[in-house]
Every structure is written in C-alpha cells, then in structure tokens.
Structure 1
C-alpha cells in the first residue's frame, strides 16, 4: 500500500471523528510516560486524566479518573531538563502522518507584542496569521494576515510566500528537517550552525539555544523535535517559570537568559509547554528596550492544495 492510499484510508476511517491534532492525542501517552518516571523518583505530582489513546488505532476516548497521571503544579515544579525530556516524549507520542513533499502544512501562527517598563513604540499588538507552508519548499506558500479583535483597524492582507534565493537557504523546509540527524552530537552541531546564522559570534551553548528557538518556530517532524528537546535539556542556564502563550493559555516555560539586549542587557527567551501534556504551545522573547513578544502555533494540518482564492493573491516580497 503506498503512502497516498494509507493517508486516504486514514482520512476516511476517522472522517467523522475529531481531527487527531497534537492537542487531542498527545496527553495520554506522555502523561503515562511521566507517571512511569515518577515511580523512579522521590517526588510525585497531583494526578488527573484527560484522554486515553488505544494502541493500534487513532482513537481518543474521553474518561474520568480511571488512571492516575502526572501533572505540573506550581507547588511541585519539575526542573527545566525534566520538562524538556517530557516534551520529547510528547513529541513522538502523537500519531502524525508523514506529509508528502508536494503537500502543504496548514497552521495558525499567533503573535503578540507588548511594551515592558515603558518601552516606546512597542505594542500592544495581537496578530493572527493563517499559513500554508510547502512541505519541501519548492512551491510558494501562503499567508493570510487577519486583524485581531483588539485592533480591528489593522490592515488585513494575503500574500504569497516565495523563498529569496539571493538571501541564502533560509530556514530549512519541513522536508529538509526530516533529513536532519537525530544523533545528539550531529544534531547539536546543526543547531549551533543555525544559531550562529541568526546571532553570530556567541558561545556554543548560546548558539545551540538560538538554533533550538529558531527551528521550533514552525512545525518540525516529531523525531527531530524530540531530539531537539533532548539537546535543549542538556544546556546549562535553563530554568522553569509560569507564562501564558500568545493565545492566553497558561503553561510551564523553559527559559534561558542571554545578553542579547541593547548594550548587553539581559534578555529572556522561553519555550512554553502545556502543563499536563507537555506539548509545545509556543514561546516568548523578552528583550530590554525592545519589549515582549509571544508566539504560538495552533491547528496544524496537512492539505494537498492552496485555497482557490490564492490564485488571485500577488507576491509582496520573499522570505
């Protein structure tokens, strides 16, 4: 059976059921893995259950109190490395069909900027962008920028996303990331290279962390995402805190400080995870003199084509 047939059968089999997104299916297996971890550790955390994933089929059954699972609460925080290891488990727990190179990743990217300590000309601003991203990067993508309810005066626009060959390779396409190694040393080198392209002349740890943040800013294949979380868990200087993502959802954040601000001021860059499932919700960047920026990626799906109205959309620039 070829890949196209398998995806078609999968779609037909569950056509009348909720879409198996990470938010729907990840909690159970990651939570059970987390519970197993607690049996080998002296600390435990309060229990609850949201979903049970039945082995051998993509079926989510709602239950209540049937199995004790691990959750995160401020009174019993996990350390940052443990949060990232649980996030690695969650990344590979969700069944996710392998998209073909000629398909698109369709997702929503939400960003919010806020001023901090009286920073002028920054926020508040809330942006929702609907994105169609070519899996292998060979075809133009699509962005639909939507004004927020809080700022209805913002301009709505739609644009084709064309790669700028004159600016180099840019961020790797999803298909490129699928070929990235999961070997820790090889992947660490790739992340450090990417981080140095973003902010050059930093120490290796900071380069690696910057590479982690950049790559995780768009959908990443599950195996590579899990391997990236495991590398991030080994970096010194990471800590946990409670933050809300760009949708307003409260999560547990893994944060690292860096002197990227103006004049060497300390900035704080974070990845934000669901408190129960440890699925990645988004991130935050707090830079003195530049304000606070939050971002989240939601509703990731796979689609074969761009919407029909994209044929009338003109290119505004390249990315």
Structure 2
C-alpha cells in the first residue's frame, strides 16, 4: 500500500462518522489517562486496512460515548483513595454545563429505600424518580416532579415549586454559589465541614467533612469544585473500596466510609458510587442499622431557559 491509497481509504472510512465532541471523547480520554498510569502498553495491531478498520470502530465507540473494544482497560485501583483521585481526573476531563444565572439545570434523581435485615426503613420502602429544574442562582423557585416508580406505576406522584426559606437558614448552595467556592484544599475543607455540621451536629471534623462531601455531591457541582472535593475525600481516614449498584441498578466501584452515627452507636456505611471505566459519579448509598438502606443516582444536567408551561398552575410550597 502507498501513502496516497492509505489517505484515500482513511478519508472514505470516516466520511459518514459524526465529528466527536468534547462530551463524547471525555470517557475515552479518562480511560486513556488511567491506562497510562498503570503503564500498560497497547497490543500491537496489524498494519494496513486492519489498522484503519480498528480506528473506525474506535471512533464509532467514542461517538456513542463508550469504549467497546477494550482498547483501554485500566486495572482495578489499589485503594479507595486512588478511586477518588481517578474521579477527580474524570471531573476535570469532562466539560461541565456553563449556564447563565437566569437559567435552570434540568436533571433526574432516582432514589429508593428499603428495609435491611428485616428492620423496616424509616417512612417505609419507597422508590422515587424525581425530575428537577434547579434555578442556577437560586433566585427563582425550583421545580420538583416526583414520579411513580416503574415497579409501582400507581404509586404517589406530585409536582411542586420549592423556594428558599430564609427562616430555615441559607439552604443548599445553588450552582452559581458553588462556582464561587474555593478549590484551595484548606479553604474548601472548611466549607465542607461547615456544610456537614448543618447535617449532623456535634461530630468530629472528619465526619463533618465527609457529610459535607455527600451533601454537596447529591446535586450538580461544577467540575473544578467537584474534582477538588474528591481530592479532599481521598485524604479522609476510614474510607474503603467495594462494589455496589446505584439506584438504577448500574454496577460501580464505590468508596465507603464507616461511621458509628447510627442509633445507639450502630455502624453506618455511606458510599459514593463511580462508573468502573470512566470514574464518573453515578450516585451513592447510605446504610444504617435500624434505619434501613437508601440508594440514589443522578443524571448529567442539561441547561434550559424556562420551566415547563404546566408549572404555572402550581402553587409555591416547600422549602429547599
């Protein structure tokens, strides 16, 4: 084969392939970084058309957002801290939304709870799919649509506008607020501990920081701040690695911290669950003896200018 023939075949092969965007290439880039870290070398490929055909398959896989040829196959991380460091790299490698203050972030959050070891969960078993439109700067009410679960299509459903109630404190930070949060480790650590103290009072600094991490990551977070939060979590004692499924049934690699904040000092396990290949955050889990188990997952947010037209018929109620 000559160079002219190679170029012609290469042009024809990619002629009908969509141009890969930054979003589509992010998982492949993250996997490549992980592969480089393990110092593995790719197996030699045949030359000529076979090489071009493999490249075509790789582009198609990246366009779909996944890698299917095992071209990149990072080894299992050695520790929970390593998982969080890989998650930090994934966060910075994936472009995040860049909304205006007057827009909304639209995403889905799935959560379910159930009893553990024959002990009924507080509030009883439930499975909720929530569709959320969050005001970017928090100046307008958020729209929450709680839908019946697929397993119980006749279950309760409701729609509500939730606003910030000053009498109940500042409430969770908005996306615009989080954009202003520091990425400096010491400053951010203090912010997380302050947030965690609002969730669980009278706990040590490590527990407050971990609870702040869990609370903030339960909604969309700007990539730089998310990466910095993962790096802080990686330094906390008591974290371990395990395999868990998120609320949608996806199997992932989890970072779990064990704590004794359950009833009567019972040991609880609180986890963040990541995709095994891209290390993108899928969701989390909380398991407390006597209180049951809760799983949650969150989708990537999309930017929208307005709320659905049907939201105008809703009355404002509920506090964030």
Q: CA deviation at 1:98?
A: 1.2
Contact 2:28 2:67 in 1 (8 A): no
Deviations 1:42-92 (A, max 9, x none): xx6999x99769xxxx97687654x832345xxx45310110000001111
Q: 1:63 to 1:168 in 2, by over 3 A?
A: closer
Contact 1:174 1:220 in 2 (8 A): yes
Q: CA deviation at 1:316?
A: 2.8
Q: 1:51 to 1:265 in 2, by over 3 A?
A: farther
Q: How far apart, CA to CA, are the structure 2 residues paired with 1:248 and 1:136?
A: 32
Which SS does the other structure have where 2:261 is aligned? Answer: coil
Structure with bigger helix share is 2
Q: How far apart, CA to CA, are the structure 2 residues paired with 1:316 and 1:262?
A: 32
Contact 1:28 1:51 in 2 (8 A): no
Unaligned runs of at least 5 residues, structure 1:
1-16
Partner of 1:251: 252
Is 1:69 aligned to 2:72, yes or no? yes
Q: CA deviation at 1:96?
A: 2.7
Which SS does the other structure have where 1:240 is aligned? Answer: strand
Q: How far apart, CA to CA, are the structure 1 residues paired with 2:121 and 2:67?
A: 48
Which SS does the other structure have where 2:107 is aligned? Answer: strand
Partner of 1:100: 100
Q: Residues 210-249 of structure 1 correspond to what in structure 2 (within 5 A)?
A: 210-249=211-250
Q: How far apart, CA to CA, are the structure 1 residues paired with 2:187 and 2:151?
A: 45
Partner of 2:8: none
TM-score computed with the length of structure 1 as normaliser: 0.83
Q: 1:221 to 1:259 in 2, by over 3 A?
A: same
Is 1:87 aligned to 2:90, yes or no? no
Partner of 1:32: 32
Q: How far apart, CA to CA, are the structure 2 residues paired with 1:19 and 1:303?
A: 23
Which SS does the other structure have where 2:195 is aligned? Answer: helix
Q: How far apart, CA to CA, are the structure 1 residues paired with 2:311 and 2:19?
A: 27
Which SS does the other structure have where 1:201 is aligned? Answer: coil
Q: 1:263 to 1:313 in 2, by over 3 A?
A: same
Q: CA deviation at 1:314?
A: 1.5
Which SS does the other structure have where 2:172 is aligned? Answer: coil
TM-score computed with the length of structure 2 as normaliser: 0.83
Partner of 1:5: none
User: What is the count of residue pairs matched by the alignment?
Assistant: 289
Q: 1:241 to 1:46 in 2, by over 3 A?
A: farther
Aligned-residue CA RMSD in angstroms?
2.8
Q: How far apart, CA to CA, are the structure 1 residues paired with 2:131 and 2:22?
A: 16
Q: How far apart, CA to CA, are the structure 1 residues paired with 2:121 and 2:177?
A: 38
Unaligned runs of at least 5 residues, structure 2:
1-17, 44-54
Partner of 2:163: 162
Which SS does the other structure have where 1:110 is aligned? Answer: strand
Which SS does the other structure have where 2:299 is aligned? Answer: strand
Partner of 1:149: 150
Q: How far apart, CA to CA, are the structure 2 residues paired with 1:268 and 1:142?
A: 31
Q: CA deviation at 1:162?
A: 0.7
Contact 1:52 1:63 in 2 (8 A): no
Q: How far apart, CA to CA, are the structure 1 residues paired with 2:121 and 2:272?
A: 25
Say which one has the larger Rg.
2
